[in-house]
Amino acid sequence: MGQARSSTSPQVILMGLDSAGKSTLLARLLTGQVMDTSPTIGFNVGTLDLDKKTSLTVWDVGGQKNMRPNWRYYIDECKALVFVVDSSDPARLPEAQKALKKVLADEKLRGIPLMVLANKKDLPNSMTIREVQRPALPTNNLTSSTADANNDAQRNNPRLNELKEKIQQMEMLPPVLLTILFPLSQISKQLDLPSYTNRLWEIQACSALKGLGLQQAFMSVNKLIKKS
């Protein structure tokens, strides 16, 4: 896949179950093209240029079950973890949840920001998700259950609907407002993302095959790194 060009670029680790589309995603990011890929044995690595001054070194680590114990060897210099799930295969989300929980339990990843990418959104049977959903940082007075409890009332509130439309047009969605306005998605809940109150996290939809949402997602990753 290529070699990292600069050791000063933040290290981003791309993980997920096998067949989630990680290698296709990385190849599309680096080359702009769809490439034939095979199950990753070991890793792929490349440097992603976000702009003239900013780059990320992205490591794609094999996700087959017998290789997941080796994930811990790739996280020493990790500045952000990108976890890819196949949004067209809900049956494997419990397995993905366990794999994510296990790797995040490593002390080396304490406080490291997390980006979850719901890949394969181009497929008709993919699960529902907001393209951008940013939970609030740890607080004592607002939780995800607040959003769920108020959801029905919000649907019928024209002022909140108008506010939501305005917020969606903003480049960065405020965490607290987004938590109030949007209930957690099905994927977020099944991955138990709201439980990760000790780190910044986001979840976005993408299609590695069509190249949709990839550049935006890694721009968000870079912003998470700067905030952490």
Q: Which residue carries 């990108």 as its tokens?
A: 82
Give the phi and the psi of residue 205 in degrees, each rounded to 5.
-95, 150
What's the angle, vertex CA 45, arms to CA 119 and CA 219, rounded to 5? 55
Give the Cα separation of 173 and 166 in Å (integer).
Answer: 10
Separation between Cα atoms, residue 139 and residue 226, nearest integer Å: 21
d(CA 135, CA 165): 18
- 């069509």: which residue's tokens? 210
Give the span between the Cα atoms of 70 and 182, in whole angstroms: 36
Residues annotated as catalytic are: 64
How far is it, in rounded angstroms, from Cα 219 to Cα 56? Answer: 10
Q: What angle do CA 41, 46, 47 make, to 5 degrees?
A: 160
